[in-house]
């Protein structure tokens, strides 16, 4: 009986060294398997250092700055982020009673247009939409209610590009209503009248620039794709020696306004400016006006009233400055060969 118990005890006891050896062998086998698995995720960088680039890390890896493919460097997948291309503007400026705007858009599409433009602020200062910025200043036009409704209806369409045309410093209504805060004065301290008996806002006055930026923001909030600024300058006709701007650096004031306007435009909305054709061609801007190079720092496109023949040469000049060029034509002008255009009349 004693021998049987001893035999049973012997069979049930495993030496400790065998247990340790088995555990070590299991760890060695696991380590070898993990090493073989990770071999394909070892990546060498430009300095020769090795790093572990696991699958869930590769989705967050910053692509190489030189644009080299991941196959060439043995790294993860390259991520290429491209800016959305600017829509090529082939637009018609809507005119007349706002009740006919929808029909004008339909006709324009049939003639190859993909966009429309609306004058939301006229050169006399009147606003053709229900502006909060201009409401208290009595600058809303008589058709503001109807045109506001027509604008909102057109902006609800998804297959057209919409441009808001804003006359800036040429503004008799606001200049006369707020001479001290915004108006351009003459050397005698009174409101300045140009050669066309019109009044202007003073670009050197912060309140004038702020007012225009508020209008720009409102147009963007309405849903316009692009804000086109016109009359960005000082008067060019009349007794210009009588302009009492206090010796302001006019070019600097206009650049300051464009910088503020660009800041007022939300992401996804384009900003553009209208310039004289001669300024684009390289002539010195009249009376310290806005030069192409200065405008190009802040806008996406430059517009100018030109003939179709002039358009090709000016397109190259403007594009070399970093902007798109949109020629402003008449309905009778040929648009053959032009990629972009705005029909004014």
Assign 304 to helix, strand or coil: strand
How far is 55 from 326, CA to CA, in rounded Å? 48
Does residue 1 sit within a domain?
Answer: no
Does residue 3 sit within a domain?
Answer: no
User: pLDDT tens across 17-52, in order?
Assistant: 677 777 888 787 887 777 777 666 665 554 555 566
Locate tokens 């190009």: which residue?
Answer: 296
Instruction: Judge if 241 and 291 occupy the same domain.
Output: yes
How far is 116 from 163, CA to CA, in rounded Å? 6
Domain containing 66 equals: 11-73
CATH code assigned at 190: 3.20.20.80
Instruction: Judge if 54 and 96 occupy the same domain.
Output: no
Does residue 49 sit within a domain?
Answer: yes
Instruction: Judge if 267 and 146 occupy the same domain.
Output: yes
- Better-predicted residue by pLDDT, 7 or 177: 177
User: pLDDT tens across 204-217, in order?
Assistant: 999 999 999 999 99
The backbone torsions φ and ψ at residue 225, rounded to the nearest 5 degrees and listed phi first, read: -85, -25
How far is 12 from 6, CA to CA, in rounded Å? 10
Q: What global pTM score does this model have?
A: 0.76
Instruction: Judge if 33 and 97 occupy the same domain.
Output: no
Quick one: which H or E segment has residue 327?
strand 324-329
pLDDT > 70 in the chain, percent: 80
Instruction: Judge if 305 and 189 occupy the same domain.
Output: yes
Instruction: Judge if 104 and 15 occupy the same domain.
Output: no
Q: How many domains does the chain have?
A: 2
Instruction: Please count the residues of the chain.
Output: 345
User: pLDDT tens across 242-292, in order?
Assistant: 999 888 899 999 999 999 999 999 999 999 999 999 999 988 887 778 999
Q: Is 260 left (phi over 0), alpha (psi -120 to 50) or beta?
A: alpha
User: pLDDT tens across 232-245, in order?
Assistant: 999 999 999 999 98
Assign 292 to helix, strand or coil: helix
Q: What is the token pair recorded at 168?
A: 């800036």
Instruction: Judge if 281 and 176 occupy the same domain.
Output: yes
Nearest to 295 by CA among 193, 168, 115: 168
Q: Which stretches of 49-109 are assigned E, i.e. beta strand?
A: 50-52, 90-93
List 324's β-bridge partners, or say none. 301
Instruction: Judge if 115 and 234 occupy the same domain.
Output: yes
Instruction: Judge if 164 and 253 occupy the same domain.
Output: yes
Alpha helices, DSSP H only, in the chain? 2-11, 16-38, 55-58, 70-73, 101-110, 132-135, 144-155, 172-177, 206-222, 250-264, 277-280, 292-296, 308-320
Does residue 60 sit within a domain?
Answer: yes
Instruction: Judge if 35 and 60 occupy the same domain.
Output: yes
């Amino acid at each position: 009986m004693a021998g049987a118990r001893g035999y049973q005890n012997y069979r049930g006891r495993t030496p400790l060294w065998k247990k340790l050896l088995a555990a070590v062998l299991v760890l060695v086998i696991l380590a070898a398997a993990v090493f073989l698995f990770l071999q394909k995720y070892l990546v060498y960088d430009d300095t020769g250092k090795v790093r572990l680039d696991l699958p869930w890390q590769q989705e967050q890896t910053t692509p190489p700055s030189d644009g080299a493919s991941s196959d060439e460097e043995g790294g993860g997948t390259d991520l290429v982020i491209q800016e959305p291309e600017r829509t090529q503007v082939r637009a018609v400026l809507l005119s007349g009673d706002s009740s006919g705007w929808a029909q004008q858009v339909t006709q324009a599409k049939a003639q190859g247009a993909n966009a429309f433009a609306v004058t939301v602020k006229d050169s006399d200062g009147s606003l053709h939409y229900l502006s909060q910025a201009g409401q208290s200043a009595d600058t809303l036009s008589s058709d503001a209610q109807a045109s506001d409704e027509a604008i909102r209806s057109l902006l609800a369409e998804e297959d057209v590009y919409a441009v808001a045309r804003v006359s800036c410093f040429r503004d008799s209504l606001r200049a006369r209503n707020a001479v001290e805060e915004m108006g351009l004065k003459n050397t005698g301290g009174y409101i300045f009248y140009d050669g066309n008996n019109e009044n202007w806002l003073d670009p050197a006055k912060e309140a004038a620039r702020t007012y225009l930026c508020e209008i720009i923001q409102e147009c963007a909030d309405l849903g316009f794709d692009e804000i086109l600024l016109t009359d960005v300058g000082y008067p060019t006709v009349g007794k210009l020696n009588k302009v009492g701007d206090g010796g302001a650096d006019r070019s600097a004031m206009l650049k300051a306004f464009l910088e503020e306007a660009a800041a007022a435009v939300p992401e996804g909305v384009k900003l553009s400016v209208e310039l004289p054709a001669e300024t684009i061609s390289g002539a010195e801007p009249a009376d310290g006006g806005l030069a192409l190079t200065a405008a190009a720092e802040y806008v996406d496109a430059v517009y100018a009233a030109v003939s179709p023949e002039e358009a090709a040469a000016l397109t190259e000049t403007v594009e070399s400055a970093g902007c798109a060029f949109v020629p402003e034509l008449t309905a009778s002008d040929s648009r053959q060969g032009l990629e972009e255009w705005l029909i004014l009349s």
